[in-house]
Amino acid sequence: MLFSSITFIYYFLPILLIIYFSISSKFKNLILLIFSLLFYFLGEPKYIIVLILSCIVNYFLSRLIYKGKNSKVYLLIGIIYNISSLLIFKYTDFFIYNINNLFKINIPFLYIVMPIGISFYTFQILAYIIDVYNKKHKPADSLLTFMTYVCLFPQLVAGPIVRYSDIKEQIIKREQSFTKVSEGIKRFVIGLSKKVLLANVLGELSKSIIEETLVASWIRPLLYTLQIYFDFSGYSDMAIGLGLILGFRFLENFNYPLIASSITDFWRRWHISLSSWFKDYVYIPLGGSKKGTLKLVRNIFIVWSLTGFWHGASWNFVIWGLYFALLLIIEKLFLKKYLDRTKIIKYIYTLLIVVISFLIFNETDLSNLIYNLKNMFSLSIPFIGKESIYYLKSNCILLLVSFISSTPLLKTIVNKVKETKIKKLINILEPVIYILLLILNTAFLIDGSFNPFLYFRF
Amino acid sequence: MKDKIIVFSFMIYIILFSLLHIIINDNEISFEERRNLSTFPKFEFTSKFITNLEDYFLDQFPFRNRFRSVKANFNYNILLKLDNNIYLKDNYIFKSIYPTNKKSIDNFKKNVIKIKNMFPESNNFYLMIIPDKNYYLEDKNFLKIDYEYIFNSLKELNIQTINIKDILSLSDYYETDTHWKQENLDKVIKKMSTVLNFNYQMFNYTKVIYNNFYGVYYGESAINRSPEIITYLTNNFIDNLEVKYLENKKLNNIYNKEKLTSFDSYEVFLDGASSFIEIKNNMIKNNKELIIFRDSFASSLIPLLTPYYSKITVIDNRYISSEYFFKYLDYENNDILFIYSTLIMNDSYSLKG
């Protein structure tokens, strides 16, 4: 089920909230678990077994790890179990395809459908068992607590990758207040608007411009960059908002990545929960940057190949990861200090690198990728055509809103205004604005086509 | 206090709409969108259930049309978009059919050649291209298909073409619909007579008017506007035609008046989507036969051709394949006419050939 669906907003959510807020605290986790499993079941009936089995296996493994006897062996079993289930469900056909191509054989494809969210909850569970092994926290006190954590529907299918250490107290006891629920509602509606009013529309727009001109060859990846940003950060906003409504406070997953001043900075702002996962569980255990330049280069390449590969069973994702690895190494070795001295160039440089990266990210056909990249730097194609002119003209306000929304400008202005005398007016207007946004989102959903979240496929 | 207002207004809003949906009876059809609406789906053990459930909630959402209207108005008036998939200009509603689909045009040509080759060369073949109304939209903003490419490309068919693009204008088309107006087609008949070699005459017709016509683009546009008039022309002569439909055995008239009040009033002409029709004019003894391969534009034109032929056979090969219709045809020494709009040429994959 999508957060940005009528079924979720008008049926699933009110029923859950009515029950959730009318029962005693001791049953809240049980209700959350039941609704989370229902949420997953409705989207992926068959694979709920994979999810439940994974919870049960890892819960008992974590207890065995914590007991101390043979903990390394149990940790190893846990890591193998989780990684192999991810590899089997997500990458089997990719491996078959490449083995067939390499050895000129013909192993039939298995056409395994990937359980939705497996990349996210597997990483969450891996972090959990490793942290138990490292005594960062105790294992969950009951299977109910553990399953409530893993299956918690706001973050189950597309993150953020919430660490148990960050919410363990909240799972047992969480504060509920109107302020928190109101904050959650606002965050949810903002996320919904990013997805429905911006990401979906930008996605359609980028597909409409098919002409082969220099402007179009840049606009398409730029629009896709904006689309994927609003799509994924919108989803994270909705997840964080729903968490707040239910009494949880998840860590932020995005921090205006499109205004980053370097690629290093970009990855501190984009999909923060994934990059910090790789940092804590791969990069630092490998030695990070503290064991000499050669090992730094090796570690960055390992981490970014894996980051790319995590996104999908396709070579373009690996290339995407390696592209960032290369740029991060260049920045770390010498470029960063020069960039830091500039005022505007560093932002333009980062945005260009990011836009090109999402062209790689979005194009699974490598020959198309090369063709599109060539066009971006070709002087032999026309500069601009009637399509680009028409769509830019028709969507100038939408684009302006999108650019502004990808920066903290609006947030800063609202915060400044709240400090002035018209604060009262803002207080009156705020509830009206959010209801109007909800009505507008509903209108776009009703008159729109099916638009799943881009990160659901990862 | 503000937080409480936000929480309660949000909860009241979403609960109100879900309750309204339960209270208000489901609609079976949408007049505006010309389609049946989804009903509550049967449960199945796949993710298809939730997809069907979402379709159902989307279709049956309270005040669905109002919400569609909100989106259209937001796009036009707030975002100042030039189109909301629908383009509005001087009361006319246009739908973009951009870009030019060259593969589809080739597919169209293949279809025509396939049918032409089924007939002996003793027949006379003609082609009439009907430009969709976007062709006549004088607005540099609007993205149009490459009409010149289509006209030039169809020359490769080597079929005598009846050129009508220069005698039509935007006012010959409905404001809210894709089609042209029957009452304006006399000039087309006159032009056809010069190529098909029949003696054009000015007939007197009675105009039957229905003034509550909302064309297909009205529903798609989701904007409020008044209906327009649809007119069909009849006279004693037309009333006495002998008409046989393959699908609708009961109907023996070239017009189906019941369709005026249906989803699509334009279906009054030749009963709308009809695959195979035989029209005999017993008052004409010239033994001239015309076989027409056509799309829906021809429906309103064909009644005006009936005074010139003793028999007209009408085939819409979107609904019937050539193997099937061929056994019904006399295929010697006829006039064979292909009448298609540029809409079909640019999206020809529904043609069965």
- Sequence-distant (≥ 6) Cβ neighbours of residue A338 within 8 angstroms: none
In one-letter notation, the amino acid at residue B92 is Y
Cα B282–B286–B292 angle (5° rounding)? Answer: 80
| pLDDT tens digits in sequence order for chain A, 458 residues long | 889 999 999 999 999 999 999 999 989 999 999 999 999 998 888 899 999 999 999 999 999 999 878 899 999 999 999 999 999 999 999 999 999 999 999 999 998 888 989 999 999 999 999 999 999 999 999 999 999 999 999 999 887 999 999 999 999 889 889 999 999 999 999 999 999 999 999 999 999 999 999 999 999 999 999 999 999 999 999 999 999 999 999 999 999 999 999 999 999 999 999 999 999 999 999 988 887 888 999 999 999 999 999 998 889 999 999 999 999 999 998 888 888 889 899 999 999 999 999 999 998 888 999 999 999 999 899 999 999 999 999 999 999 999 999 999 999 998 888 888 788 888 888 999 999 999 999 999 998 754 555 555 55
- Sequence-distant (≥ 6) Cβ neighbours of residue B330 within 8 angstroms: B289
Q: Does the CB of A96 have a partner CB in chain B at under 8 Å? A: no
* Chain B, nearest residue to A388 by Cα: B143
Question: Nearest C-alpha of chain A: how many angstroms from B6?
Answer: 5
Average pLDDT over residues B53-64: 92
Structure confidence at residue A305 (pLDDT) = 94
The Cα–Cα gap between A316 and A456 comes to 17
* Chain B interface mutation, best of A447, A450, A456, highest count of B Cβ atoms under 10 Å: A447
Active site residue A137: no
Return the domain boundaries, chain B.
2-92, 100-350
Q: Does the CB of A113 have a partner CB in chain B at under 8 Å? A: no
Structure confidence at residue A364 (pLDDT) = 84
Q: Does the CB of B27 have a partner CB in chain A at under 8 Å? A: no
> C-alpha B242: how far from its chain's center?
25
- The answer to whether the Cβ–Cβ distance between A393 and B141 falls below 8 Å is yes
Q: Report the candidate in B310, B302, B221 with the shortest Cα–Cα distance to residue B254.
A: B302
Structure confidence at residue B54 (pLDDT) = 92
Mean of all residue pLDDT scores within chain B: 91
* Chain A interface mutation, best of B1, B7, B77, B83, highest count of A Cβ atoms under 10 Å: B7
DSSP percent split of chain B into helix, strand, coil, nearest 5: 40, 20, 40
Question: Nearest C-alpha of chain B: how many angstroms from A371?
Answer: 21
DSSP per position, B313-328: EEE-TTTS-HHHHGGG
Structure confidence at residue A453 (pLDDT) = 55
The Cα–Cα gap between B165 and B90 comes to 21
Beta bridge partners of B311: B280, B289
Structure confidence at residue B321 (pLDDT) = 83
- In the numeric block, the tokens 């429906």 are attached to B299
Question: Nearest C-alpha of chain A: how many angstroms from B98?
Answer: 9
Q: Does the CB of B45 have a partner CB in chain A at under 8 Å? A: yes
Residues in chain B closer than 8 A to A44 (CB atoms):
47
In one-letter notation, the amino acid at residue B217 is Y
Q: Does the CB of B17 have a partner CB in chain A at under 8 Å? A: yes
Residues constituting chain A: 458
Using the CB atoms, write b or e for A241-260: b if 16+ within 10 Å.
bbbbbbbbebeebbebbbbb
Q: Does the CB of B79 have a partner CB in chain A at under 8 Å? A: yes
Pairing of strands B29-30, B276-280: unpaired
- The answer to whether the Cβ–Cβ distance between A6 and B57 falls below 8 Å is yes
Q: Does the CB of B149 have a partner CB in chain A at under 8 Å? A: no
* Chain B, nearest residue to A18 by Cα: B11
* Chain B, nearest residue to A392 by Cα: B81
Q: What are the tokens at A301?
A: 């390449």
In one-letter notation, the amino acid at residue A329 is I
B324 pLDDT more than 90: no
The answer to whether the beta carbons of residues A184 and A237 sit under 8 Å apart is: no
Beta bridge partners of B291: B313, B336
Pairing of strands B228-234, B242-245: unpaired
Give pTM, 2 decimals.
Answer: 0.90
Q: Does the CB of B23 have a partner CB in chain A at under 8 Å? A: no
Average pLDDT over residues B12-16: 95
Pairing of strands B276-280, B311-315: antiparallel
| 0.85 surpassed by complex ipTM | yes
The Cα–Cα gap between A41 and A156 comes to 12
Lateral strand order in the sheet of B335-341: B160-162, B124-130, B335-341, B289-294, B311-315, B276-280, B242-245
Cα dihedral sign for A363, A311, A208, B352? Answer: positive
For residue B330, what pLDDT band results from cuts at 50, 70 and 90?
low
Structure confidence at residue B64 (pLDDT) = 92
| Residue A422 burial class via C-beta count within 10 angstroms: exposed 0-12, middle 13-18, buried 19 and up | exposed
* Chain B, nearest residue to A188 by Cα: B10
Q: Please confirm whether the linkage preceding B99 is cis (ω < 30° from 0).
A: yes
Structure confidence at residue A313 (pLDDT) = 87
Pairing of strands B289-294, B311-315: parallel
Cα A88–A89–A95 angle (5° rounding)? Answer: 55
Question: Nearest C-alpha of chain A: how many angstroms from B75?
Answer: 9
**Cα within 13 Å of Cα(A73), Cβ side:** 5
Q: Does the CB of A444 have a partner CB in chain B at under 8 Å? A: yes
Q: Where are the alpha helices (DSSP H) in chain B?
A: 2-23, 48-60, 64-73, 102-118, 147-154, 186-196, 216-221, 236-239, 297-305, 322-325, 342-345
- The answer to whether the Cβ–Cβ distance between A390 and B143 falls below 8 Å is yes
Beta bridge partners of B208: B232
The model's pLDDT over B113-155, given as tens digits with 9 standing for 90+, comes to: 999 988 888 889 999 999 999 999 998 888 999 999 999 999 9
Residues in chain A closer than 8 A to B21 (CB atoms):
10
Residues in chain B closer than 8 A to A183 (CB atoms):
3
- Sequence-distant (≥ 6) Cβ neighbours of residue B284 within 8 angstroms: B307, B308, B309, B310
- The answer to whether the Cβ–Cβ distance between B81 and A398 falls below 8 Å is yes
Q: Which of A311, A323, A359, A445 is catalytic?
A: A311
The Cα–Cα gap between B4 and B11 comes to 11
Structure confidence at residue B252 (pLDDT) = 86
The Cα–Cα gap between B324 and B315 comes to 11
* Chain A, nearest residue to B222 by Cα: A447
For residue B237, what pLDDT band results from cuts at 50, 70 and 90?
confident
